[in-house]
C-alpha cells in the first residue's frame, strides 16, 4: 500500500488496515518460526507499511493538537 493511498483513508479505515497488517506480520513470523515462510521479504515490507501507517496517524494527531 502506497503512502498516498494511506493518506486518503480516514483515521478509522487506516486503523483497521493497521490491525490487518499487524495480524499479517504475526502470521508471517509464525510461519518463519515453523520454517514455512515462502517469502521472507514480505516481513520487511509489512513492517514498513505498519511504520508508514503509524507515522501518518501520529502526524494527524500532532496536527489536531496544534489547532
Instruction: Determine whether domain 11-66 maps to CATH 1.10.1580.
Output: no
Question: Are the C-beta atoms of 37 and 28 separated by less than 8 Å?
Answer: yes
Greater confidence, 1 or 32?
32
Going from N- to C-terminal start, the domains of the chain cover 11-66
Q: Give a three-class secondary structure readout of 23-50.
A: HHHHHHHHHHHCCCCCCCHHHHHHHHHH
37-66 as b/e: b if 16+ CB within 10 A: beeeeebeebeebbebbeebeeeeeeeeee
Greater confidence, 1 or 54?
54
**pLDDT of the residue at 1:** 83
Which pTM does this prediction carry? 0.91
Query: CA-to-CA distance for 23 and 58, rounded, in angstroms?
Result: 21
pLDDT above 90 for 67:
no
pLDDT 10s digits, 2-61? 999 999 999 999 999 999 999 999 999 999 999 998 999 999 999 999 999 999 999 999
Amino acid at each position: 500500500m502506497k503512502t498516498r493511498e494511506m493518506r486518503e483513508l480516514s483515521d478509522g479505515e487506516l486503523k483497521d488496515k493497521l490491525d490487518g497488517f499487524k495480524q499479517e506480520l504475526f502470521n508471517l513470523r509464525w510461519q518463519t518460526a515453523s520454517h514455512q515462510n515462502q517469502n521472507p521479504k514480505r516481513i520487511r515490507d509489512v513492517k514498513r507499511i505498519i511504520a508508514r501507517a503509524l507515522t501518518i496517524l501520529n502526524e494527524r494527531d500532532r496536527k489536531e493538537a496544534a489547532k
